[in-house]
Amino acid sequence: MFGCKCFHWTRVADFSPSEPETFSLPAPIAQWPKGQGFATGRINLGEIEVIEITKFEFIWECNLLQDRKKGVTFYKPVGLPDGFFTLGHYCQSNEKPLRGFVLVAREVDLPEPGYSCICKQEYSPALLRPLDFTLVWSPNDLSEENLDGGGYFWLPQPPEGYKAMGFVVTRKPDKPELEEVRCVRADLTDKCETHRLILNINSKFPKLPFRVWNTRPSHRGMLGRGIRFMHSSDTTGPTVFFHPDEVYMPSSVSWFFKNRALLYKKGELVGQTIDCGGSNLPAGGRNDGEYWIDLPIDDRAENVKHGNLESAELYVHVKPALGGTFTDIAMWVFCPFNGPATLRIGIVNLALSKIGEHVGDWEHFTLRVSNFTGELWSTYFSQHSGGKWVDASDLEFIEGNKAIVYSSKSGHASYPHPGCYIQGSTKLGIGVRNDAARSNYYVDSSIRYEIIAAEYLGESVVSEPCWLQFMREWGPTIVYDSRTELDKIIGLLPVMIRYPVENIFDKFPVELYGEEGPTGPKEKNNWVGDERS
């Protein structure tokens, strides 16, 4: 279109959408017992009740470079039960199988019988139809050609005190019917933010700006109340595979303590043996540097460094997410020791002697499960100072719905697929290696786990272990001259690549330049908040 093939949209007249590729988990979802509200298909949010709609009617498709996978498709939810209303239409990238949902809502009967007439007069409905629609974008804006069947984007105009929750897309320039959607009373809404850019044609057509973003609530985490109304397993635990050359294995916390791990206090030279449950660890407070944990001082230290796979288990924190429409199951892995890093410069690999080492290593991944169906929706893979969410359709599975998590060699970052992941510049091939592969070393989290926290169930429902309340570091801080080792490496390189290598080294995380034990799970900001992505 417009004399250029960089942006393309398809007319209905010459396009009959084929049945989209869809995704489902490898095995049927477990049948959950009735009576507790989980996986019942609907959630009561107070004044409104919401359900998922996963059946859609094709509306319009927008592609880049005439490559369908580089475009997006817009859909209208269909098959709404009586009394439920659409709040907006659905959009998804064509790169992934169709596996989305839209929440549709109905108003709960309020106020209850017995309310005074005055209260009823003051009561405002939770949902109201819009007053009008405003056309905010269409491909006809810069074209004399009549593209009947193009995409027309309409923003509902809400009554005073109400907000529109999404856009309505049509194939024709005629306004949608007012009954098409409902607006929500403003006090029942929350702020949201754009998150990931799905499609951008601004650079090609500055006079025809068109961007498609994913959105998420601004306030997330287990205390957040915001819900995503438009979205891009059952809870069988993943299997965590360790690299075949891994020498620093995980262990249980109790095994680590039983093998004479020591608690040190600032100003005291002799450490105190920690009991197997961690009851003599100082609880609460903050990471003030007053206490830390270290390896035993006798000949057991080297053995403890290498962990004990037979005792290893996943420590589970269960918490609500996205306003209670999902449950996050954060699974924490403990390793007594984090091994040294391996540096990659082009085709050359250099095993570093100290850089990256530290006592105590807490890593995690998180399963995000739909509270409507009990289905695994996505998994968060924690990777050093960050991480990323991966849709269930992009995961590997074994034995039905058991997802696979790959733990990287020495550093124990988690990845969805095997391979060599570079922490640095992938383009230049310079950085710290994170090697992930399947092996005979693994932990099946569906049978080897311990639930350590689920605050939303109330106090005393889950007994949190004593060691979880230790907010200080699980290893000593030892500063060493790692820069000297890196400078020696830089000095051996050809002059033309010394500067970019040095620049990348300067951006490495601080933990690579000295031994500093991590704090425990409860001290991490994602314990209460959302994952960093």
Helices (H), 224-349: 253-258, 301-305
Whether residue 439 is contained in a domain is answered as yes
Regarding whether 248 and 141 lie in a shared domain, the answer is no
Average pLDDT of the segment spanning 69-87? 90
458 and 320 in contact (C-beta within 8 Å)? Answer: no
Highest mean pLDDT among 117-131, 405-419, 497-511: 405-419
Q: Show which of 154, 184, 217 is a domain's final residue.
A: 217
Q: What is the DSSP string of 271-298?
A: PEEPPTT-TTSPPBS---SSEEEE--SS
Q: What is the DSSP string of 352-390?
A: -SSTT-EEEEEEEEEEEEETTT--EEEEEEEETTEEEEE
Distance CA 86, CA 455 (A): 33
Regarding whether 268 and 184 lie in a shared domain, the answer is no
Distance CA 281, CA 271 (A): 12
Regarding whether 269 and 160 lie in a shared domain, the answer is no
**Whole-number pLDDT of residue 27:** 80
Average pLDDT of the segment spanning 26-39? 65
Average pLDDT of the segment spanning 4-19? 42
Cis peptide before 81 (omega within 30 of 0): no
Average pLDDT of the segment spanning 68-90? 90
Regarding whether 260 and 140 lie in a shared domain, the answer is no
**Whole-number pLDDT of residue 94:** 86
Which range among 17-21, 281-285, 303-307, 318-322 shows the weakest confidence by mean pLDDT? 17-21
Burial class of residue 270 in the structure, from the number of CB atoms within 10 Å of its CB (0-12 exposed, 13-18 middle, 19+ buried): exposed
**Whole-number pLDDT of residue 367:** 95
Average pLDDT of the segment spanning 283-312? 93
Whether residue 65 is contained in a domain is answered as yes
| Cα–Cα distances in angstroms (integers) from residue 515 to residues 117, 293, 356, 364, 478, in the given order | 69, 13, 7, 20, 5
Segment 302-311, tens digit of pLDDT: 999 999 999 9
Whether residue 229 is contained in a domain is answered as no
Segment 268-281, tens digit of pLDDT: 999 999 999 999 99
Q: Show which of 217, 247, 265 is a domain's final residue.
A: 217
Whether residue 300 is contained in a domain is answered as yes
pLDDT band at 192 (very low <50, low <70, confident <90, very high): confident
Has residue 53 got a pLDDT over 60?
yes
Segment 202-217, tens digit of pLDDT: 644 555 667 787 777 7
Residue 259: name the closest of 271, 270, 273 by CA: 273
Q: Cβ contacts of residue 220 below 8 Å, gap of 6+?
A: 226, 321, 322, 529, 530
Regarding whether 411 and 495 lie in a shared domain, the answer is yes
The more confidently predicted of residues 533 and 189 is 189
Whether residue 6 is contained in a domain is answered as no
**Whole-number pLDDT of residue 142:** 43
Regarding whether 308 and 198 lie in a shared domain, the answer is no
Distance CA 46, CA 324 (A): 12
Query: What is the number of domains present in the chain?
Result: 2
**Whole-number pLDDT of residue 467:** 97
Regarding whether 280 and 328 lie in a shared domain, the answer is yes
Q: Show which of 184, 217, 250 is a domain's final residue.
A: 217
**Whole-number pLDDT of residue 516:** 67
415 and 383 in contact (C-beta within 8 Å)? Answer: yes
Regarding whether 455 and 313 lie in a shared domain, the answer is yes
Regarding whether 199 and 274 lie in a shared domain, the answer is no
**Whole-number pLDDT of residue 117:** 44
The more confidently predicted of residues 148 and 161 is 161
Q: Which pairing describes strands 168-170 and 152-157: parallel, antiparallel, or unpaired?
A: antiparallel
Helix then strand then coil, % of the chain, to nearest 5: 15, 35, 50
Vertex 531 angle, CA 527 and 533, to 5°: 160
pLDDT band at 31 (very low <50, low <70, confident <90, very high): low
237 and 110 in contact (C-beta within 8 Å)? Answer: no
At 532 the three-state DSSP class reads coil
Regarding whether 368 and 316 lie in a shared domain, the answer is yes
Segment 220-270, tens digit of pLDDT: 777 765 554 443 334 578 999 999 999 999 999 999 999 999 999 999 999
Segment 334-386, tens digit of pLDDT: 999 999 888 888 888 888 877 788 899 999 999 999 888 888 999 999 998 78
Helices (H), 61-179: 117-122
191 and 219 in contact (C-beta within 8 Å)? Answer: yes
- Show the domain range for 426: 239-523
Has residue 8 got a pLDDT over 50?
no
Whether residue 15 is contained in a domain is answered as no
Average pLDDT value over all residues in the chain = 82
| The token pair that represents 454 in the structure block | 């689920």
Regarding whether 334 and 191 lie in a shared domain, the answer is no
Q: Which pairing describes strands 291-294 and 514-516: parallel, antiparallel, or unpaired?
A: unpaired
Average pLDDT of the segment spanning 73-88? 93
**Whole-number pLDDT of residue 110:** 57
Segment 410-463, tens digit of pLDDT: 999 999 999 999 887 787 788 889 999 999 999 999 899 999 999 988 888 899
Average pLDDT of the segment spanning 171-200? 87
Average pLDDT of the segment spanning 496-514? 67
Whether residue 149 is contained in a domain is answered as yes
**Whole-number pLDDT of residue 263:** 97
Q: Which pairing describes strands 342-345 and 430-436: parallel, antiparallel, or unpaired?
A: antiparallel
Q: Quick one: CA torsion of 3, 6, 11, 17, rounded to 10 degrees? A: 150
Has residue 5 got a pLDDT over 50?
no
Regarding whether 311 and 369 lie in a shared domain, the answer is yes
Whether residue 528 is contained in a domain is answered as no
Q: Which residue type, as a one-letter code, is found at position 310?
A: E
**Whole-number pLDDT of residue 350:** 81
Average pLDDT of the segment spanning 487-492? 75
**Whole-number pLDDT of residue 254:** 97
DSSP code of residue 331: E
| The token pair that represents 106 in the structure block | 């109905």
430 and 359 in contact (C-beta within 8 Å)? Answer: no
